[in-house]
Amino acid sequence: MTDIPWKIFSQTGNIEAYLLMKEMEDTEEQLYQDHMDGQELFEDHRL
């Protein structure tokens, strides 16, 4: 998902493309963490 901003940054040096890539990585990581937290809550309630 972050391939396009990285390609733009690597070819142009555009800092905005780099910042967009980092923001996308952070969002992806947060979504994964939120999902894992929800899974833990679900498993706790099943017991």
- Rounded to the nearest integer, the mean pLDDT of the chain is 87
Q: Are 16 and 24 in contact (CB under 8 A)?
A: no
Cα–Cα distance list, 19 to 2, 10, 14, 16, 41 (Å): 11, 12, 9, 5, 33
pLDDT over threshold 70, residue 35: yes
Examine the pLDDT at 13 and tell me if it is beyond 90: yes
pLDDT of residue 47: 55
Is pTM beyond 0.85 here? no
Give pLDDT, residue 37. Answer: 83
Q: Residue 43, Cβ neighbours under 10 Å: how many?
A: 9
Which is higher by pLDDT, 4 or 43?
Answer: 4
